[in-house]
């Protein structure tokens, strides 16, 4: 994290993961296994593919992200057998309290101190907007592919489409030549 803001680790999520059995005998569930199980659960529940990975789970456990998206929270609850988000140590984003008194010209209202604004912005932008490597590679391949095929369009168009206008050879003569 930037500056002097140190996130509080989410020990509840880590403890729940480590209390869950792995596919490997006598081992606790790894971050990768948890990510796979949450992605599988969400696909079965919604029909939509999710890209949760071990790195994102590490960010949750370090406390960098305190309130994952609703789908991920539901997946964690289902896979880890939790009844609530708070049982897994997830804390909703803090709301800036409304000022209860008038604020002087040289004072800043609660929640609007520069460090509070930066912390809130970092938290909001880090949650569920991280671009997965797979999506990034697919997007890059599409852009590069389009750029590479444009110069070849003349060669890719079938010959009969490029022959427009009047021809010196009739259709019957063309059939004989082919």
Q: How many of the other CB atoms lie within 10 Å of CB of 61?
A: 20
Q: What is the pTM of this model?
A: 0.53
Q: Is residue 31 part of a domain?
A: yes
Same domain, residue pair 72 and 46 = yes
Q: Is residue 101 part of a domain?
A: no
Same domain, residue pair 41 and 29 = yes
Same domain, residue pair 25 and 57 = yes
What is the token pair recorded at 84? 């609530």
Domain that holds residue 15: 11-94+119-130
Q: Is residue 112 part of a domain?
A: no
pLDDT per residue as tens, the chain (178 positions): 455 578 889 999 999 999 999 888 889 999 999 999 999 999 999 999 999 999 999 999 999 999 999 999 999 999 999 999 999 999 887 643 344 444 455 555 555 556 565 666 555 555 445 556 666 777 777 777 766 666 666 666 555 555 555 556 666 665 655 5
Number of domains in the chain: 2
Same domain, residue pair 27 and 42 = yes
Same domain, residue pair 85 and 173 = no
Q: Give start and end residues of each alpha helix (H) in the chain.
A: 11-18, 31-46, 54-62, 70-80, 114-126, 133-149, 153-156, 159-162, 171-177
Same domain, residue pair 77 and 149 = no
Q: Is residue 107 part of a domain?
A: no
Same domain, residue pair 70 and 158 = no
Same domain, residue pair 143 and 173 = yes
Q: Is residue 102 part of a domain?
A: no
Do residues 3 and 114 make contact, with C-beta atoms less than 8 angstroms apart?
Answer: no
> What pLDDT, on a 0 to 100 scale, did the predictor assign at position 80?
94
Same domain, residue pair 83 and 45 = yes
d(CA 134, CA 51): 9
Same domain, residue pair 143 and 172 = yes
């Amino acid at each position: 994290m930037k500056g002097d803001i140190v996130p509080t680790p989410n020990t509840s999520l880590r403890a729940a993961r480590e209390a869950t059995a792995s596919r490997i005998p006598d081992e606790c569930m790894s971050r990768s296994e948890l990510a796979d199980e949450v992605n599988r659960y969400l696909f079965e529940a919604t029909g939509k593919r999710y890209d949760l990975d071990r790195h994102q789970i590490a960010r949750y456990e370090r406390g960098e992200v305190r309130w994952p998206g609703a789908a991920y929270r539901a997946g964690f609850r289902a896979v880890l057998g939790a009844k609530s988000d708070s049982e897994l140590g997830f804390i909703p984003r803090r709301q800036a309290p409304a000022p209860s008194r008038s604020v002087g010209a040289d004072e800043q209202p609660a929640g609007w101190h520069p460090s509070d604004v930066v912390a809130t912005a970092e938290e909001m932008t880090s949650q569920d907007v991280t671009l997965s490597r797979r999506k990034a590679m697919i997007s890059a391949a599409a852009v590069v592919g389009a750029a590479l095929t444009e110069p070849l369009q003349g060669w890719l168009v079938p010959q009969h489409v490029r022959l427009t206008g009047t021809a010196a050879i009739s259709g019957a003569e063309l059939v004989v030549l082919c």
